[in-house]
Amino acid sequence: MGKENHLAFCKAELRSVFLSTKAGKPDNKLKYRVEGLFHAAKLLGLLSTEQANAIIESEHQAVFGESGSERLKRKNQLKQLRESDPDAYFNIPTVERL
């Protein structure tokens, strides 16, 4: 498998991880396998840490429509709202709380 094929495979598998998470059915086995693929690519010199992070961020943006840090911030705000005012939290439509 050449460099481009390996990276394309990594991207496709990463997208699968994000899509299953978005669907509410996270697949940890696949997630850990993808982490291994990226680690192997770095060890083989096919990918730098910066390039791996850029791929992850790009795929996250494509699937979730926001960066990983934006999504984490939004999820934390929702968690705080749920703890402080459950009624306000549950007044937000479920699809917006994902």
d(CA 13, CA 11): 5
pLDDT in tens, 14-57: 999 999 999 989 999 999 999 999 999 999 999 999 999 999 99
Work out the angle at residue 16's Cα, subtended by the Cα atoms of residues 13 and 21, and round it to the nearest 5 degrees.
135
Res 71: pLDDT? 87
Res 93: pLDDT? 87
Token output for 14: 């990463």
Token output for 86: 């459950």
Q: What percentage of the chain has pLDDT greater than the value 70?
A: 99
DSSP conformation letters of 29-81? HHHHHHHHHHHHHHHTTS--HHHHHHHHHHHHHHHHSS-HHHHHHHHHHHHHH
At residue 2 the predicted structure's pLDDT band, cuts being 50, 70 and 90, is confident
DSSP class of 92:
S
Does residue 98 register a pLDDT over 80?
no
